Amino acid sequence: MSAARRLLPATLALAALSLGLGACGHNMEQRAASGAIAGAVVAGPVGAVVGAGVGAVVNEADKPN
């Protein structure tokens, strides 16, 4: 197996993660979706759930008092 074939999945995962994090969003739905995408790339379905939760927490923490 060539080096390029071994690096392709990692490169695609990094690109997807970058796109997911680049679209952080301005409201709760967008932030939860961005977190879910990034989490799914890193850890699959469980990561998607955790990422969505983190996106929701970030939204609540970002609200003014």
* Residue 50 confidence (pLDDT): 79
Whether the full predicted model's pTM is greater than 0.85, yes or no, is no
* Residue 14 confidence (pLDDT): 61
Q: Cα separation of 6 and 25, whole Å?
A: 33
Domain ranges of the chain: 3-62
Q: What is the DSSP letter of 26?
A: S
* Residue 35 confidence (pLDDT): 80
* Residue 60 confidence (pLDDT): 78
Contact 41/17 with Cβ under 8 angstroms? yes
10-residue averages of pLDDT along the chain (65 residues): 73 62 72 81 78 80 74
* Residues sharing a CB contact under 8 Å with residue 43, sequence separation 6 or more, in sequence order: 50
